[in-house]
Amino acid sequence: MSFAGRVAIVGAGVGGLALGGFLSRLGVPFAVYEQARQFTRLGAGIQMSPNAVKVLRALGLERRIREFAFAPRSWSNRVWNSGDNLFDFIYGDEAEAKYGAPYVLMHRGDLHDALHSTVPAGSIAFNKTLTNLARKGGGYELRFADGSTAAADAVIGADGVHSRVREILLGPEKPRFTGRVAHRTVFSSALMNGYLVETCTKWWGPDRHIVIYPVNPRRDETYFVTSVPDPDWDVESWSARGDMDAVRRAFGGFHDDVQKVLANCPSVHQWALFERDPLPRWTEGAIALLGDACHPMTPYMAQGAATALEDAATIARCLAAVDDPGEALRRYEAARKDRTARIQLTSRQNSWGKGATDPGWVYGYDAFETPLPA
């Protein structure tokens, strides 16, 4: 018998919206509480690997995603100056047959819009910054910065890397600054004077890298994301603007194909990269964490949002299988912890694709086929 109480989802990011989409399909009552006043279209690309696309498929989004995403032939890994090939992850039909879904690259805003479309209008409350969460009666009371409250029988903290729900459950965290920053932007390919990026490429320098890819089938928008040493900048937020001249200097000497991308790029944002260890637990009673709130990771395997989607699918499966929400969420944690810890720790090494890499254990995973622990 499935859970029939009311679920509060804190955070309308990738994982929170996906969970809302699944709960809506299951007929479980829910509300999403989001701190932002409205959604804004961030200038960023996102890679969705086959394990993520299987979740998007279950939300009915596959056709839409194939229309707006770019399907690369490979993720090529090349030496920063010579352009010599280190290793290619081969995608396209071959990988789709092997892993059960395509590997696609897209604008983060398009992904977010697609996920938003799976949640009924009116189920997201904006301008609701969670400040506190406490037991009340048989369930929970959520308190927000505007003084309002809400009640729920189960609470999912999908509130990202600076999760307030995690802080309430486990206390303040102490992430380690890696001494590195990521710059990222999406800009018009027309600024590259006729040059078009063909596929996804990671250019590996001695102490820095840059990943470049188009974000739609027309390839008229290009995305890049970097990782560069910068011990003086430790702000973990995309609202900070970076300096494109500094980015060009940081990648001076990189291959001509990188110079063509950076030459006229108008602007960039930057985010300090932190490392965190796997958490001891993700649940307490009928409260659980999801996505970056419980397993934030460095972006080097492009698996943060993918694993948040897997989490959402698994929570929905557990709530559909068990009527006691605490029991359902404990099963969810048990089903997900080893996998996400392994990805977190592998990602930290920043060696994915630098040499021969078998991605089967990541891409072949199907959040709907994996047995749920008893």
- Give the active site residues: 213
82: exposed, middle or buried (Cβ count in 10 Å: 0-12, 13-18, 19+): exposed
Question: What distance in Å separates the CA atoms of residue 128 and residue 164, rounded to the nearest whole number?
Answer: 12
Site for ligand FAD in 268-297 (CB under 6 A): 271, 291-293
Q: Is residue 11 close enough to count as binding ligand FAD by CB under 6 A?
A: yes
Q: Which residues of 277-294 are buried (b: 16+ CB within 10 A; e: fewer)?
A: ebbeebbbebbbbbbbbb
Nearest CB to ligand FAD, comparing residues 13 and 72: 13
Question: What distance in Å separates the CA atoms of residue 183 and residue 267, rounded to the nearest whole number?
Answer: 10
Nearest CB to ligand FAD, comparing residues 268 and 322: 268
Q: Is residue 127 close enough to count as binding ligand FAD by CB under 6 A?
A: no
User: x/- string (CB under 6 A) for ligand FAD, residues 301-330?
Assistant: -xxxxx-x----------------------
Question: What distance in Å separates the CA atoms of residue 257 and residue 235, rounded to the nearest whole number?
Answer: 30
Nearest CB to ligand FAD, comparing residues 186 and 322: 186
Region of residue 220 (left: phi > 0; alpha: psi -120 to 50; beta: else): alpha
Question: What distance in Å separates the CA atoms of residue 284 and residue 248, rounded to the nearest whole number?
Answer: 47
The one segment of 86-94, 190-198, 243-251, 298-306 that binds ligand FAD by CB under 6 A: 298-306
99: exposed, middle or buried (Cβ count in 10 Å: 0-12, 13-18, 19+): buried
Site for ligand FAD in 224-253 (CB under 6 A): 225
Choose, by CB under 6 A, the member of 3, 7, 9, 16 that binds ligand FAD. 16
Q: Is residue 353 close enough to count as binding ligand FAD by CB under 6 A?
A: no
Nearest CB to ligand FAD, comparing residues 261 and 305: 305
| Residue showing the smallest CB distance to ligand FAD in the complex | 13
* Bridging pattern class, strands 104-107 and 45-48: antiparallel
Nearest CB to ligand FAD, comparing residues 304 and 322: 304
Place of tokens 């090529």: 76
Q: How far is the CB of 305 from ligand FAD (least distance, A)?
A: 3
Q: How far is the CB of 213 from ligand FAD (least distance, A)?
A: 9
Choose, by CB under 6 A, the member of 65, 95, 104, 130 that binds ligand FAD. 130
Question: Which tokens go with 246?
Answer: 């500094």
Nearest to 212, CA basis, from 204, 220, 200: 200
Choose, by CB under 6 A, the member of 54, 166, 184, 331 that binds ligand FAD. 184
Interface with ligand FAD (CB under 6 A): 10-16, 33-36, 46-47, 128-130, 158-160, 164, 182, 184, 225, 271, 291-293, 299, 302-306, 308
